[in-house]
Amino acid sequence: MPKSSKEALDWLLAGNERYAAEQQEYPNQSITARLTLATRQNPFATILSCSDSRVPSEIIFDQGLGDLFIVRTAGHVVNGLVLASIEFAVYALNVPLIVVLGHQHCGAVTAVLKDEPLPGYLPELVDYLRPAVQ
């Protein structure tokens, strides 16, 4: 398990290379790993990513259960709860690396660009994203 931010980033990049080459190892997914995780977690990286179903961090970085602390919101929106989640990973779990993972064709960003009326709580999401898009 990586201890430094450099080692953690190297692990993520190596996992992404395996994923891109279709040579995934699917680490830490055994029954033994699952039983160990029942009592503790020790992720080596925190990833803030979009909720988009096309970018699941554990899969694209070829990592297993307990390896990554993932915080996902539509459009990578960051508010107090998101920051508190990231702080929890850093302070309580001693995670050495924080990654903000972007992707193309984000539906939330597209909604801001279209500037059309939206139902429910979606306008709140758009309000968070609008300054970044402008």
Q: Which residues are catalytic?
A: 50, 52, 54, 103, 106
Question: Can you tell me the distance from the alpha carbon of 90 to that of 88, in angstroms, rounded to the nearest whole number?
Answer: 5
Strand order in the sheet with 98-101: 68-73, 45-50, 98-101
- Category of 105 on φ-ψ map: left (φ > 0), alpha (ψ -120 to 50) or beta: left
What φ, ψ does residue 129 adopt, rounded to 5°? -85, -25
